[in-house]
Structure 1
Amino acid sequence: MRAAVYYGPNKVSIDDVPDPAPAHGEVKVRVGFNGICGTDLHEYFAGPIFIPTSPHALTGNQAPLVLGHEFSGTITEIGPGVDGFSEGDRVAIEPIYRCGTCGPCASGRYNICKFIGFHGLMSDGGMAESTVVPQNMLHKLPDSVSLQLGALVEPMSVAYHAAKLGNVRAGDTAVVMGAGPIGIGVWFALKGLGLDDVYVVEPSPVRRASIENLGAKTLDPTSVNVAEFIGDHTGGSGVDAAYDAAGVQPAVETALQCIGAHKPLVSVAIYEKPLETPLLNLVMNESRIQGSLCYTGDDYRAVIDLMANGHYDTTGWVTTIPIEQVVDEGFHALHAGKKMKVLIDPSL
């Protein structure tokens, strides 16, 4: 079968690899769509970062391996010991490997497992015609949720988990820094949590236009003093939560100027460069920076429920390509800012 195999920085090729078979507790999934994540871009252009170069503690795998951790598909084969799933079930994959015994796992926070691994980063993943996954990664998709939307459950769950960590509720005000796929996801999540007063800060005209077409209110930081605008808008009290999905110093500084007393800045970005955090703002405001990593099954279920109710709209920001185009029309197009979110269809 065809698969996108990662060998190292700037080296991903479409290879013919053996068709996998499920072992005990596993199922085989025919991949419908697989999204290219920002993490995949980091691995392609600057890796290996998360992809192991020696056997991973939980999976035993290392590079080279098949990429792809944002995917959906249809179960085509059931391994022994699997209950509650059948061939033909349409599923989204929650791609976390966890040890189940460390402190975070024991407390239910397996998304910060001390030995965490990801299908498609620490094992052969979903940028392929088929892949094999453990039963605990499976989430059934309702008939009303397409496989295309199913491939977006993973990144939208990253965003939903972050949105919840802001401890917001209906009627609150929030600001989101960055209108890439995760920023869009945070906006969708906040709307799903009942917030109507949400501003998305984005300097790119293309990205601003994309999220505006979805119904978002935006601010251009190159022409508007965002902190002053938010101060005026909130009567000086600041927002109830800010979310950084941009991952750059100016976004963090602006977000910290926007949050109200005792309120959080939730960081859901990957920072390529060290940041200088203006701690005086935090001290004088008794505010805080809250990290956000991944998701749990509860986030997946919440996102799938919202999708089933028609909450998410892919118009204008999601593109589908064949697997053979993953490098040029995927990695390079995303890196150059020509596209926002790319899904690979292995059947094309």
Structure 2
Amino acid sequence: MRAAMYYGNNKLDIEDIPEPTPGEGQVKVKVSRNGICGTDLHEFYDGPIFIPPSDPHPLTGKAMPLVLGHEFSGVVTDLGAGVTDIDEGDRVTIEPLYRCGECRPCKSGHYNLCTVIGFHGLMADGGMAEYTVVPRNQIHVLPDSVSVEMGALVEPMSVAYHAAVLGAVGDQDSALIFGAGPIGIGLWFALRGMGLTEIDVVEPSPTRRQSIEKLGARTLDPTSQDVSALIADRTNGNGVDAAFDAAGVAPAVEAALECVGERRPLISVAIYDRPLPTPLINLVLRERRIQGTICYTSDDYRAVVDLMSRGHYDTTGWVDTIPLSGVVEQGFEPLRAGRKMKLLVDPTL
């Protein structure tokens, strides 16, 4: 089978490798689509970062080289011993987390914070291939109303949904999202799914603003508008009930902390390339807080799949498909340059 094999910084080859065979408790999946994540870009251009270069990961036993890809969906083709509640032919999406089950976060139900967490496609051969094998606990069966192609978006949309839940907002609240990339779009969909109507998306890129506006979002341009003053005026100085940083830059964090109301959170969804100065006075005087968020749990996956089954997510204008053979030239390069929003890899092409 063909697969995108990662060998380190700027080294990725499309190779023919043996098809995997499921072991006990595992499921073999024929991959339909695999999304390219910002993490994949960081690994290719700046890595290895999360991918173990030499010492095998403690939960998977894998190190570089390995097959990339952790946002994917497909069809079950084979079952390992002991798997009895999944059928061949089931259309599935993958929750690509390996967890130990023994640490305090795992035992408390927050396995996304596992102290030795691993990811399929970063610490095990992933979904940028024609086939892959995953543990049974990573499988979510898709309902008939959700296409297998849409299933490849469940992972990034669950990242956004988990963050939205941590915002603790209700349908009468207001929210501010910084960044209109895929996670920012996912946050907008998640908050809308929770009943919010008062949502503004702050984005300096005209292309990204136009993309999310076509979905129905209300946007603000920080290059031509004083976002903090506008929000203060609109809310009579009270600020929004939650702000979300999906931009990962200092101006977004600073503006978000000025815009969020007293005792309200800024949810940090971004991965920051460098340390950011934190204006602590904005936290202290108004008892605001910064809340980190990482990944998701099965609850988030189920919530996103349920919203998808009701037609809640619209991929018009921001999701495209490319062939496996073009992962670097048609995938990584245009994403890094900001020419594309979200790309799904078709491993059959």
* TM-score where L is the length of structure 2: 0.99
Deviation at 1:111, TM superposition (A): 0.2
Residue of structure 1 equivalent to 2:18: 18
CA distance in 2, matches of 1:341, 1:97: 25
- Separation (CA, whole Å) in 2 of partners of 1:171 and 1:315: 28
Distance in 2 separating the partners of 1:329 and 1:144: 30
Q: CA deviation at 1:83?
A: 2.1
The residue type paired with residue 83 of structure 1 is T
Aligned counterpart, 1:292: 293
Provide the secondary structure at the position in 2 that maps to 1:74.
strand
* Equivalent residue number for residue 84 of structure 1: 85
Partner of 2:134: 133
Match of 1:48 in 2: 48
Amino acid in structure 2 at the alignment position of 1:299: D
1:240-299 per-position Cα deviation (integer Å, ceiling 9, x unaligned): 000000001011001001000000000010000110000000000101000000000000
Aligned partner of 1:316 in structure 2 is 317
Deviation at 1:171, TM superposition (A): 1.2
- Provide the C-alpha distance between the structure 2 equivalents of 1:83 and 1:157, rounded to a whole number of angstroms: 26
Supply the distance in 2 between the matched residues of 1:9 and 1:330 (Cα, whole angstroms).
16
| SS at 2:339 equivalent | coil
Q: Deviations over 1:83-115 (max 9, x none)?
A: 210000000000000000001001000000000
- The one-letter code of the counterpart of 1:24 is E
Do structure 1's residue 264 and structure 2's residue 265 form an aligned pair? Answer: yes
**Secondary structure in structure 2 of the residue aligned to 1:30:** strand
Q: Give the ranges of 4+ consecutive aligned residues of structure 1 lying more than 4 Å apart after TM superposition.
A: none
Aligned-partner residue type, residue 325 of structure 1 = G
Taking the aligned partners of 1:287 and 1:83, their CA distance within structure 2 comes to 48
Structure 2 matches for 1:233-252, cutoff 5 A?
Answer: 233-252=234-253
CA distance in 1, matches of 2:331, 2:11: 13
SS at match of 2:32: strand
**2:71 alignment counterpart:** 70
Task: Report the equivalent of 1:185.
Answer: 186
2:64 is paired with a residue whose SS is coil
- Alpha-carbon offset, residue 148 of structure 1: 1.6
Match of 1:328 in 2: 329
Distance 1:170 1:129 in 2: 42
Equivalent-residue separation in structure 1 for 2:15 and 2:253 (angstroms) = 41
Aligned to 1:203: 204
Q: Secondary structure at the match of 1:285?
A: coil
- Other-structure match for 2:338: 337
The CA distance in 2 between the partners of 1:180 and 1:62, in whole Å, is 30
CA distance in 1, matches of 2:280, 2:44: 34
Letter in 1 for 2:9: P
Counterpart CA distance in 2 for 1:345 and 1:25 is 27
Q: Take 2:215 and 2:311, find their aligned partners in 1: how far apart are those partners?
A: 13
- In structure 2, the partner of 1:283 is 284
Helix, strand or coil at the partner of 2:335: helix
Rounded Cα–Cα distance in structure 1 between residues aligned with 2:136 and 2:23:
11
Residues in 2 aligned to 1:48 and 1:347: alpha-carbon distance in whole angstroms: 27
Cα distance, 1:58 vs. partner?
0.7
Cα deviation code 1:129-158 (max 9, x no counterpart) = 000000000001011111121000000000
Instruction: State the one-letter code of the partner of 2:223.
Output: T
| 1:85-164 paired onto structure 2 within 5 Å | 85-164=86-165
Query: Alpha-carbon deviation of 1:61?
Result: 0.4
CA deviation after TM superposition for structure 1 residue 176, in Å: 0.2
Task: Give the structure 2 partner of residue 307 of structure 1.
Answer: 308
Structure 1 residues 185-218: Cα deviation after superposition (integer angstroms, max 9, x where no partner): 0000000000000000000000000000000000
Aligned to 1:170: 171
In structure 1, give the amino acid aligned to 2:275.
P
Residues in 2 aligned to 1:255 and 1:282: alpha-carbon distance in whole angstroms: 11
Match of 2:332, SS state, is: helix
Equivalents in 1 of 2:193, 2:66: separation in Å? 36
Aligned partners of 2:273 and 2:84: how far apart in 1?
42
Q: Unpaired segments of 5 or more residues in structure 1?
A: none
Q: Which blocks of at least 5 consecutive residues in structure 2 are unaligned?
A: none
Distance 2:10 2:221 in 1: 33
Aligned length: 348
CA distance in 2, matches of 1:113, 1:57: 12
CA apart distance, 1:118: 0.2
Partner of 1:36: 36
- Using the size of structure 1 for normalisation, the TM-score is 1.00
Aligned amino acid, residue 109 of structure 2: G
What SS does structure 1 have at the residue aligned with 2:77? strand
Letter in 1 for 2:12: V
Q: Distance in 1 between matches of 2:246 and 2:88?
A: 38
Name the stretch that deviates more: 79-88 or 303-312.
79-88
**1: distance between equivalents of 2:176 and 2:70?**
28
